[in-house]
Amino acid sequence: MKPRAAALPLVQSDQTFALVDGALRIAVVADTHSSPHPEIARRLVELAPHRILHAGDIGDLAVLASLSEVAPVTAVRGNIDARASDLPDVVNIALRGEEGVLLRLLLTHIAVDRTRIRADVGRLARASGAGLVVCGHSHVPFAAHDRGLTVFNPGSVGPRRFHLPIVFGVIEVGAAGVSLRHVDCETGLAWTPSSAHRV
């Protein structure tokens, strides 16, 4: 997260997602910058997620309305979304099954500094009991462990930056646990070299 002026406190919200028949499929997009890839709607319909997360830098808020035609959307404000005053900076999400909370995740826009999780984000995640941090900003898709937390960046489905792929992320929760993966927006195939990653 970019440092904010003291007069603008961090806006947080809390949500709970319930598993559906013992499973939950969450699509994760980020950095649409008002121009999501033309294939993203089709790819999301094919995936049939129960929920969609947008990790910020939305641009035109009509993007969220379009995504919500596929599944309910939870979004955070990115550094280009200054006018999106109704959006929080951070969302704490509990993934709940019949036995109780299976995983807590923290959704925010900027969570890493180069390859390390930012100290302020780490503190926020630990305070909410989150084991998974979902972020955007860099347009670089990755899943990694740092300082006892798993960090997942879905990449970007907006305009291409440099040589980076146009990809989105998928979080799957089920009997086997939690897995993270990336999907190539242009082909609909699994994006490598990230391959499936277990939390």
153 and 136 Cβ atoms separated by less than 8 Å: yes
One-letter amino acid at 118 equals: R
For β-strands 24-29 and 51-54, DSSP reports them as parallel
152-165 mean pLDDT: 94
CA angle 102, 107, 112 (to 5 degrees): 115
Residue 4 confidence class, pLDDT cut points 50, 70, 90:
very low
Nearest-angstrom CA–CA distance, 87 and 192: 32
11: which DSSP letter? Answer: P
Nearest-angstrom CA–CA distance, 153 and 167: 10
3-class DSSP state of 35: coil
Backbone angles phi, psi at 143, to 5 degrees: -135, 125
Nearest-angstrom CA–CA distance, 34 and 105: 26
Q: pLDDT of 24-82, one tens digit each?
A: 999 999 999 999 999 999 999 999 999 999 999 999 999 999 999 999 999 999 999 98
Backbone angles phi, psi at 77, to 5 degrees: -80, 135
Weakest mean pLDDT among 8-12, 58-62, 112-116: 8-12
183 and 155 Cβ atoms separated by less than 8 Å: no
Q: pLDDT of 76-112, one tens digit each?
A: 999 999 888 899 999 999 999 988 999 999 999 999 9
The answer, as to whether pTM is greater than 0.85, is yes
Please report, in angstroms and rounded to a whole number, the separation of the first and last CA atoms in the chain: 23
Nearest-angstrom CA–CA distance, 171 and 28: 8
In the predicted structure, residue 199 carries a pLDDT above the cut 90: no
CA angle 53, 55, 57 (to 5 degrees): 130
- The fold adopted by the segment(s) 12-198 is Purple Acid Phosphatase; chain A, domain 2 (3.60.21)
Query: What is each CA distance from 17 to 36, 105, 168, 173, 182, in whole angstroms?
Result: 25, 11, 20, 11, 21
